[in-house]
Chain A
Amino acid sequence: MSHSLVRTGLPRPLILIGVVIVLLVCLFPFAWMALSSIKVLGELYTIPPHWWPDAPTWSNYAKVLFESNIPRYFWNSVVISVGSTGLALVLAIFASYGFARFNFRGKPFWQAFVLIGQLLPTAAIIVPLFITLRVLGLVNTYWGLILVYMIVTLPLSVWMLTSYFKAIPVELEEAAIIDGSSRLGVLFRITLPLSLPGLIAVLVYSFVTTWNEFIFALCFATDSSVKTLPIGLSEFSTEFNTDWGGVMAASMVMTIPIALLFLVFQRLFVGGLTAGATKG
């Protein structure tokens, strides 16, 4: 480990300044949302605007948690996001390994093919996708959305994992193969543990992307038994009005668990790093 050596890195003041700037940039709109979620209706749109609510209220949260469909949709979102992230990850691990470690005819074509679903504008594919789902009998089902989200999550997962796998020295795998490991054994015992930080990054990213997806969910899940959180957000709007306090509170309920989840995953990040270091 490197502790014995003289540490190089950014000087402390620079780190501090950098971190403060990054946090300000990231949190500024978020703070506005959080504060809006505890404002009463009359305080939301004022001129001049004010940061701190004069009469903070939890009523928006009470409404979101007890009077809206958000709790029910939360569960739907969990099922769909976990399902599509998991499925994408499994498919992507194999595909990425194939792309990263082998040369085969038409490889650039197949790599580009993975992206095709995202190269066609959503406006163009939404109708035929609906027809495809109808033929498969998957409209208004969890599986329907989980499958459709492969269009969104697979390109990301395959491409990112390919790049992480490529970064791992081939010699490590070759050594294992000489020791008699099978191809799959190498993938699971050497490549995956070494790319754990990348796996987690991809996992979190796919999860969040599906968690927040609106237009597919809107069109393919019309029954409340499968509606997801972003649809729940839109239910705070009527034709000429939006309950912004409610939307902001619901957004907090949607966002904070994910941020916490990621905080917990940080441990795994570090775990992955150590594993990589000892083997490298």
Chain B
Amino acid sequence: MKHISTAALLALTVSTLTLASVQAGEVVWWTPNWGEARAKELAEKFQAANPGITIRMEVTTSDGLPQRVLTSLQSGAPPDIMEVQHGWVNAYAQNDLVLPMDDVIQDKDDFNAAAIQNVSWEGKLWAIPYRMETHGFIYNKGAFTAAGLDASKAPETWDQLIAAAAALSKDGKFGFAITGGGEVGNTIFRSLPFIWMNGGNIVSDDLTTAVVNSPEAVAAVKFYTDFYLNGQSPDSTLQNDGTANRRLFIAESVASYQSGQFDINSIRNENPNIDIGVGLLPHPEGKTPASILGGWSYVVPKDAKNPDEAKLFLQFLNTSENQAFFTDTFPVRQSAMSAERFKDPILVPFRDMLQYARPAPIHKAWVQITQAYFDGIQRILTREQDAQASMDQANEEIQALLDS
């Protein structure tokens, strides 16, 4: 077995060489490409104020980010700070891959409660959420007027939305686009709020029972999927994620859909002719809207080389001013909301939606639970099952996940 010892010897030599190359006081920061310029500015500011610490940025892209993050976490050679979505944090905490962050912020009250809840587990905080957003109802005012609808306000109730979608769907156009394809999260973000508004849920609050086949949940699922089955959501619904819906909206094939404020700029750039209207997500008569809170957080991996310096830098990144500067959507700090850039009138409904935003349930099998639910939605959209039968099957699968 000569080759084993050769490999071992080689490994030994090289590893002694590389150990020396880890620099004290260097914080490696993985930050996504869409915020690169702002990140650079913040890093330079921080370095100027803290001469002993250097910030080394490594720019990430959204393609394959979860794989890249997990590979580095699992293999014990992660950077010092990573930016990840709120929803990913819990799995990292439960697998003991990230450090608790309770010592980083002292004024937790200033942070949005749902965002904090999103990244908490077993009473500890596992990430610093800095950015948050939620969906609103986006519509084409011109299309509304053309269909004889009141374009000055969005439909407020489910019945109004159903009526509007019917009126808007003609001449090969579609009234209201839902998603039925792409990553699971797309459809969760768009359909789970309807279940919540109707008083239902996917799993019970104590996370022991699957409740997705309850009458409230099934009614909401039927409400959601009927837009496609009745021909008011595009034929391509099973292929479409949020981005595809935006493109269909830009192509004026779709008159309304759900999305976040991040879509507004794209629409304005690519089709300036559309007069964009935004409203709250429609709710059942006599009830209130609901939505899922999304956004991004900073985590410090357990195997980070310089966690103390990293936390110092995080305190800097999470001052009210810097959060307001760095976020793509809204900042998690309430005090940062007063910044000038959040005063654009079109943002008001998105901002108002935040008060109805909830974190997704926190359970170790949540991703699989959502997958089972999403499979159920797709079974309805492919007309394999009706809403009740499909949710019965999903319920059974989800219960099995909760029990295991």
Chain A interface residues (CB < 8 Å from chain B): 41-42, 45-47, 126-128, 130-131, 134-139, 214-215, 218-219, 222-224, 231, 234-235, 237-242
Contacts and interface: CB of A to CB of B under 8 A. Distances in A.
A137 B17 contact: yes
The binding surface of chain B is classed by DSSP as helix
Contact of B74 (A127, A223, A224): A127
11 contacts: A47-B253, A127-B75, A137-B14, A223-B58, A238-B32, A239-B32, A239-B262, A240-B243, A240-B246, A241-B243, A241-B266
A130 B75 contact: yes
A213 to B, nearest CB: 12
Interface in B22-68: 30, 32-34, 58-59, 61-64, 67-68
Interface in B50-96: 58-59, 61-64, 67-68, 70-72, 74-77
Contacts of A137: 14-15, 17-18
Nearest to A134: B77
Contact of A139 (B32, B64, B77, B260): B77
A219 B67 contact: yes
A131 B76 contact: yes
B71 A41 contact: no
Interface of B: 10-11, 14-15, 17-18, 30, 32-34, 58-59, 61-64, 67-68, 70-72, 74-77, 242-243, 246-248, 250-251, 253, 260, 262-263, 266, 269-271, 328
Contacts of B15: 135-137
B251 A45 contact: yes
A238 B67 contact: no
Given A41-B269, A222-B58, A239-B262, A136 B14 contact: yes
A235 B263 contact: no
A214 B64 contact: yes
A234 B71 contact: no
A131 B14 contact: no
A238 B62 CA distance: 6
B269 A215 contact: no
B243 A242 contact: yes
Q: Which 6 A-B pairs have the closest CB atoms?
A: A137-B14, A238-B34, A234-B63, A137-B18, A130-B75, A234-B61
